[in-house]
Chain A
Amino acid sequence: MAESLGGEALVSPPPSLIRASYGDRVFKGLLTLAAVGVPLLLGLLFVELVSGSRLAIERFGFGFITHSTWNPVTEEFGAFPLIVGTLLSSFLALLMAVPLSLGVAIYLTEFAPMPVRKPAAFLIELLAAIPSVVYGLWGIFVLIPILRQTVFPFLQTVLGFLPFFRGTIYGPSMLSASIILAIMVMPYIMSVSREVLLAVPSSQREAALALGATRWEAVTSAIVPYARSGIIGAIILGLGRALGETMAVTMLIGNRHAISASLFAPSYTMAAAIANEFAEAVADIHLSALAYVSLVLFGVTVLVNAGARLLIWRVTQRGMPGGAT
């Protein structure tokens, strides 16, 4: 940013002011450069992903999304099982994580004894700091043996009449991956919904209690409805995390390009396929197909996150001043 002074001033200012305005311009220039860099980087990411997947886009078009064969030998690629695997594992994870994290968030904002509230929230948020690969390690050597020997057989005897719980029991499977995902996503949903619940004005709670509601009724009738769109935002944010989660899922899902009704069977996700095959792929079309998969994954997470931000933003905008709408 070594631009010269544009000497346009009619009356020359004192030297100290000239130095100041020069410094200001350099400073603002540097900051602007950094700020412009952020959108540029995202643009570059998008361009690189598209150019990386051009070969596959030209060969397979949109049929890539609905086609189910994945065969590097015959160079036929379709991402349908991967997309289904990603959506299903994330959905199952949310099914387990949402009630649990909402229960925790509500308890920690409304019912828990004051001295417990912050430390408990801190402990659970610590889960979010554990690297994904450590979850994977723990999943392989601790969680999967427990699941395969006791939990899965139990589920099969109790719920075996459902097609999801039939068939051979594998350790690495859709259900194992979903369980680890649920643990990983929980701190995010818990922490954001806790913040949203804390923003609910106490007049809301007091009004319900004054009308004779029990504490639980105050939660369901006054507090949660008030925070509803923020909580939905928190859940969608968790969904965004689950969709893109890679290492732990790669290590636990069994990595098979197939869709099966049984949750005990191995499966695959978009992120896991990229992680496993990218470094080993040799054919250009194989690499390009994997880049195409990451483009699809990128698109899905951008949509999901934009939706979540919008919802949370709406709540916090409304929630701050007084709030009684």
Chain B
Amino acid sequence: MNRQERRRLKSRVMVSIMALAVILAVLPLVFILLNLVVKGASSLNWAFFVETPAPAGQSGGGVGHAVLGTLIIVGMACLIGLPIGVGAGIYSAEYPASRLARVARFVADVMNGTPSIVVGVFAWTLIVANQKHFSGLAGSVALAMLLIPMVMRTTEEMVKLVPNSLREAALALGYPRWRTSLRVVLRTALPGIVTGSLLAIARIAGETAPLLFTALGSQFFSTNPNQPMAALPLVVFTYATGPYEEWHRLAWATALVLIIVVFVLSLAARIATRQRFTLNA
């Protein structure tokens, strides 16, 4: 075999190895989704979504309390985090050269890389340690901390995409700056901002670590944000590491629900972006 052929063969072998790498990389996804459906789907029924857990060791019961808890905790996190994230994002896109914008951008990147468990400790020292009891609100604050930098950076990117000519046209027609920002710029960027926010919400909805010692978890329907509250990821953790077969079954079913929630949010996000391009045309 001469040099030429050896080089060509090597190229072909390396390319096939990389093609195998793609298959290897997709395998875990297929495996995880398959296992979730096989082990979780049979436990899903109406009672699963509306009942509270049966006493330990008994069969039956549901995770209605955790569905409600996740809705409340994530909802409050959005109320706290979205205004700050979107506002900061618009600021750093509209005044990009200002020192504050540069600082905020850098800080958002640092916060994006901060482990969620560390944010949980922060929410604990800030709220739980002072109030001397666990609460759903503390969990929301921790999740909002994770939400803000993600939403801020995507909002900024989306507002930056709005062509300057639109802004100038509005100003030339006598619109004040704030109305230009709200009615023209923000309106054009809105689908992108919604996409970014939905993706960020999907991320925080699945977070467990920041809730471990803030929302803590609970066995009952609880709507009081000042009390410990259940959440779907916490239920998966508790049931998966618990000793009972029945708990493991519920853990799989809950994980399936959680994954469906996350994927539906991501899918909705993708649909929202698709509309942006048709709007711009």
Q: Which residues of A contact B (CB under 8 A)?
A: 19-21, 23-24, 26-28, 30-39, 41-42, 44-45, 48-49, 51-52, 99-101, 103-104, 106-108, 111-112, 120, 123-124, 126-127, 129-138, 140-142, 183, 186, 190, 214-217, 237, 240, 243-247, 251, 271, 274-275, 278-279, 290-291, 294, 297-298, 301-302, 304-306, 309
> Is B233's CB within 8 Å of the partner chain A?
yes
Q: Is A35 a contact partner of B15 (Cβ separation < 8 A)?
A: no
Report the minimal beta-carbon distance from A239 to chain B, rounded to whole angstroms.
Answer: 10
What residues on B are CB-neighbors of A100 within 8 Å? 21, 24-25
Using A34-B84, A124-B29 as known contacts, say yes or no to A216 and B11 having CB atoms under 8 A apart.
yes
13 CB-based A-B contacts, threshold 8 Å? A34-B83, A42-B111, A45-B114, A49-B125, A103-B17, A111-B19, A126-B263, A127-B29, A129-B266, A134-B255, A246-B116, A275-B117, A301-B114
By secondary structure, the A interface counts as helix
Q: How far is the CA of A258 from the CA of B136 in the complex (A)?
A: 34
Tell me if B268 is interfacial: C-beta within 8 Å of chain A: no
Are A38 and B90 interface neighbours, CB within 8 A? no
**A133 in contact with B237 (CB, 8 Å):** yes
CB distance from B226 to the nearest CB of A (A): 18
| Interface SS of B by simple majority | helix
The complex places the Cα of A297 from the Cα of B119 at a distance, in Å, of 11
Checking B35, B126, B152, B209 against A138 with a beta-carbon cut-off of 8 angstroms, the contacting residue is: B35
B103 beta carbon closer than 8 Å to chain A? yes
Report A148 CB to chain B, min CB distance, Å: 17
Which B residues contact A (CB, under 8 angstroms)? 7-8, 10-11, 14-15, 17-19, 21-22, 24-26, 28-29, 31-32, 35-36, 39, 83-88, 90-92, 94, 100-101, 103-104, 107-122, 124-126, 129, 145, 148-149, 152, 176-179, 181-182, 202-203, 205-209, 212-213, 216, 233, 236-237, 240-241, 248, 251-252, 255, 258-259, 262-263, 266
A31 surroundings in chain B (CB, below 8 A):
87-88, 90-91, 94
Docked-complex contact A274 and B121, CB < 8 angstroms? yes
Query: How far in angstroms is the closest Cβ of chain B from A150?
Result: 15
Residues of chain A contacted by B176 (CB below 8 angstroms): 19-21, 23-24
A216, B10: Cβ atoms closer than 8 Å: yes
Chain B residues in 8 Å Cβ range of A217: 7, 11
> Known contacts being A24-B176, A32-B100, A244-B114, is A48 close to B126, with CB within 8 Å?
yes
The answer to whether B31 and A142 have CB atoms under 8 Å apart is: yes
Contacts A141-B35, A294-B121 aside, 4 further interface pairs with beta carbons under 8 A come to A108-B22, A130-B29, A244-B117, A304-B113
Minimum C-beta distance from A63 to chain B (A): 21
A258 shortest CB reach to chain B, Å: 20
Task: Give the one of B111, B178, B251 with max A CB within 10 A.
Answer: B178
CB-based contact B177/A129 at 8 Å? no
8 Å CB contact of B259 from A27, A35, A130, A240: A130
B136 to chain A, nearest CB (A): 15
Complex: A100 Cα to B233 Cα, angstroms: 29
Question: Which of these, A216, A237, A290, A302, contacts B114 with CB under 8 Å?
Answer: A302
**Are the CB atoms of A278 and B18 closer together than 8 Å?**
no
A305–chain B nearest beta-carbon distance, Å: 3
9 nearest A-B residue pairs (beta carbon): A244-B115, A34-B87, A131-B206, A20-B176, A305-B113, A27-B178, A103-B21, A216-B11, A214-B11
